[in-house]
Amino acid sequence: MIVIFLVSVNKALDLPIKWTILYVACLTFLYVKIYFLAMINKVCVLGAGSTKYGKLDEGIVEIALNASKEAISSAGITPKDIQAGYISNVFGVADKQVHMAPVIMSNLGIPYVPGLTIESACGSGSVMLREAYANIAAGFYDCVLSLGVEKVTHVGTLQSTTLFSYCSDFFYEGGSGASFPGLFATIARSYMNTFKATEEDLAHVAVKNHENGLLNPKAHVRKKITVDDVLNSPMVASPLKLYDCCPFSDGASAVILCNEEFAKKSGRQYVEIIGSGRGASPAAVQGREDITTIPSTIAAAKQAYAMAGITPKDIDFAEVHDCFTIAEIIDIEDLGFFPKGTAASAVTEGATRRNGAIPINPSGGLKSKGHPIGATGVGQVVEVFEQFTGNAKDRTIKDAEIALTHNFGATGASAAVHIFKKVK
Ligand SMILES: CC(C)(COP(=O)(O)OP(=O)(O)OC[C@H]1O[C@@H](n2cnc3c(N)ncnc32)[C@H](O)[C@@H]1OP(=O)(O)O)[C@@H](O)C(=O)NCCC(=O)NCCS
């Protein structure tokens, strides 16, 4: 079109042909330059490692190093191949260590490699992963360590609840006595009233995630439970009972991210990240128009699906943020797996079990696997890597090729969604 236009202008103005050739050459050069500038590198997960989640005796640095070393060995690289470290952590202060990144890099024997510590409450892991992803996609690095870690159980439930409340909009929420169980109880009441969901429906989420967690040797709460066990467990914040809540956990998870060329050269199995999205919601629950949905999840998912060029129907399984049973029900609607108001009954009918239409949280999720908040978003990626590299054993989702991870901070003030493809 442009060439035809230029030729006609040239003819009309009776200009020499060499001018047309010059115009076309300049335009082609500009087009090629813009095309390459807009192109992003493919990003892959080359290795993954995780500690057990639960009450751990080791200190925060040791926990972090154990997961990192496992990921490095799983990727078949040495620390010297790592060009940057991305570390998600929220309450390092509880174990007397903030500024985690340089400490981890130094302990890995690469003190001159730059590291960055990222905090985004319970969503820290996925938000950090997104930054690591973006830096490889943009071509700044070929290979990075992406690590999440948390250590809180030694301070006890009371102190942990207080610390965690600092992740809410403290003026309106934590500072006014609204802990996270209390905030999610409010969300649960609203959802149950609006869509006629029941406490039994919520209990089915816990039963299913405990069933999956039982197959995960690294899960925190490995215990088979029934709907009655959930309904009869101690009340925490009505209608949420003990088994509707995730536990406080320690733990670390790490993945090695690299560009496609690096992954191919390694000759090892790897997983490709084909979509990445981030979203935000008003920090306080009271600032939202509708509390039966989480806007940050919807925004992040929309971006990730668009980037991957797929729809929710193409996802074979998902690891989602089930800090409380109600959260999983809302997540799977916001992610587009079920129409609004229908997920509770779908869960009760078994649609989200390992052999269901869309398996959710085969790892056991936050509910059973545990929730060491800085590590959670990375732990979800570890599960995808294990699933796609033949290491998920009895948890394996048959014939799965595309998976999604979803992780949010606080009541969903921040969120990130990633989509992964198995590379054969
Ligand atoms: C649910 C909760 C109040 C329980 O705290 P607690 O009563 O002090 O629990 P304890 O740590 O004393 O554990 C008591 C028992 O219950 C078990 N347990 C604790 N939390 C559990 C949970 N969420 N699910 C299942 N079992 C749990 C423990 O393993 C322990 O069992 P044991 O006696 O057989 O060892 C606490 O875990 C909690 O507040 N969770 C939510 C954390 C949170 O808000 N995270 C951020 C999300 S946004």
Instruction: Please identify which of the residues 210, 220, 321, 371 carries the catalytic annotation.
Output: 371
Lowest mean pLDDT among 18-32, 61-75, 143-157, 231-245: 18-32
Is 371 annotated as catalytic?
Answer: yes
Total domains, the chain: 1
Q: Which atom of ligand 1 is nearest to the CA of 153?
A: 11
Question: Are 50 and 70 within 8 A, CB to CB?
Answer: yes
- Tens of pLDDT, residue by residue over 253-311, are 999 999 999 999 999 999 999 999 999 999 999 999 999 999 999 999 999 999 999 99
**Is 125 inside any structural domain?**
yes
What distance in angstroms lies between residue 243's CA and the mean position of ligand 1's atoms? 8
Closest ligand 1 atom number to CA of residue 411:
48
Using CB distances shorter than 6 Å, the residues near ligand 1 are 122, 157, 161, 164, 180-181, 221, 236, 242-243, 245-248, 323, 371
- How close is the Cα of 232 to the center of ligand 1, in Å? 15
Other beta carbons within 10 Å of 106:
14
Dist CA 374 CA 409 (whole Å) = 10
- Residue 389 placed within a domain: yes
Per-residue pLDDT band at 20 (split at 50, 70, 90): low
Give the residue whose CA is nearest to atom 11 of ligand 1.
157
Whether residue 31 is predicted with pLDDT greater than 60 in this model: the reply is: no
Tens of pLDDT, residues 368-389: 999 999 999 999 999 999 999 9
Q: How confident is the model at residue 422 (pLDDT cuts 50, 70, 90)?
A: very high
**Of 149, 212, 254, which Cα lies nearest the Cα of 369?**
212
**CA-proximal residue: ligand 1, atom 34 (nearest):** 221
d(CA 326, CA 240): 9
Q: Is the pLDDT of residue 1 over 60?
A: no
Q: Are 143 and 45 in contact (CB under 8 A)?
A: no
Whether 162 is in a domain gets the answer: no
User: Containing domain of residue 286, as a range?
Assistant: 43-154+247-422
Domain membership of residue 274 (yes or no) is yes
Instruction: Kindly report the protein residue whose alpha carbon is nearest to atom 9 of ligand 1.
Output: 157
What 3-state DSSP class applies to 302?
helix
pLDDT in tens, 153-202: 999 999 999 999 999 999 999 999 999 999 999 999 999 999 999 999 99
Whether the Cβ atoms of residue 287 and residue 75 lie closer than 8 Å to each other: no
Query: Does residue 255 fall inside a structural domain?
Result: yes
Give residue 173 CA to ligand 1 midpoint distance, Å. 21
Atom of ligand 1 nearest to the CA of 167: 48
- The answer to whether the CB of 413 falls within 8 A of the CB of 280 is yes
Phi–psi pair at 267, nearest 5 degrees: 70, 10
Q: Does some domain include residue 172? A: no
Residue 202 lies in a domain: no
Given the CA of residue 157, which atom of ligand 1 is nearest to it?
8
What are 258's strand-pairing partners? 44, 143
Side-chain half-sphere of 323: how many Cα atoms within 13 Å?
Answer: 25
Quote the pLDDT of residue 21: 66
Complete DSSP assignment for 153-199 = GGGHHHHHHHHHHTTS-TTTTGGGT--HHHHHHHHHHHHHHHH---H
The percent helix, strand, coil of the chain (3-state, each to 5) is 45, 20, 35
Q: What is the CATH number of the domain that holds 148?
A: 3.40.47.10
44 pLDDT band, cuts 50/70/90, is very high
Average pLDDT score over the chain: 94
Ligand 1 centroid, distance to 127 Cα (angstroms):
26
Q: What is the pLDDT of residues 315-367, one digit of tens each?
A: 999 999 999 999 999 999 999 999 999 999 999 999 999 999 999 999 999 99
Q: Name the closest-CA residue to atom 31, ligand 1.
A: 221
Spell 243-265 as b/e; 16+ CB within 10 A means b. Answer: bbbbbbbbbbbbbbbbbeebbee
User: How much distance in Å is there from the Cα of 56 to the middle of ligand 1?
Assistant: 15
Residue 373 domain flag: yes
Which residues sit opposite 50 in a β-bridge? Answer: 253
pLDDT classification of 58: cutoffs 50, 70, 90:
very high
Return the best residue to mutate from 55, 91, 246, 297 for the ligand 1 pocket (most ligand atoms within 8 A of CB): 246
Residue nearest to atom 32 of ligand 1 (CA): 221
- Predicted confidence band of residue 5 (pLDDT cuts 50, 70, 90): low
Residue 139 corresponds to which tokens in the numbers above?
């071509």
Q: Provide the sign of the torsion angle of the four alpha carbons 65, 66, 71, 73, taken in this order.
A: positive
Judged against a pLDDT cut of 80, whether residue 116 lies above it is answered with: yes
Distance 242 CA to ligand 1 centre (A): 7
Catalytic residue check, 122: yes
CA of 39 to the centre of ligand 1 (A): 47
* Range in 19-28, 209-218, 237-246, 276-285 the model is least confident about: 19-28
Residue nearest atom 27 in ligand 1 by C-alpha distance = 247
What was the pLDDT predicted at 29?
54
Selected catalytic residue, list 44, 122, 167, 323: 122
Percent of the chain with pLDDT over 90: 90
